[in-house]
Amino acid sequence: MRVSVDRDRCEGYGLCAEEASHLMHLDDDGELVLDRAEVPPESSDAVEAAVRVCPVAALKVS
């Protein structure tokens, strides 16, 4: 599974980072940083949860 962020949609709410803090974080400017684009199998649930809590539907998994 891969996770990607649509930069045009992302507004830096950071709710995703609360769900999957080991895979993504906000930098000092409030920009989302994906620490790993390739999601390890044991983290797929956390990443899917992160996708669901994004208020602007900016995260996608494939």
- The tokens for 41 are 């199998």
* In the complex, least distance from residue 53 CB atom to other proteins, rounded to whole angstroms: 6
Taking CB under 8 A as the criterion, the residue among 2, 12, 35, 38 binding other proteins is 12
**Residue 48 contacts other proteins per CB under 8 A:** yes
Contact in structure between 47 and 3 (CB atoms under 8 Å): yes
* In the complex, least distance from residue 52 CB atom to other proteins, rounded to whole angstroms: 5
How far apart, in whole angstroms, are the C-alpha atoms of residue 62 and residue 14? 21
How far apart, in whole angstroms, are the C-alpha atoms of residue 16 and residue 26? 10
Given the rule CB under 8 A, which residues bind other proteins?
Answer: 11-15, 17-19, 26, 29-31, 44-46, 48-49, 51-57, 61
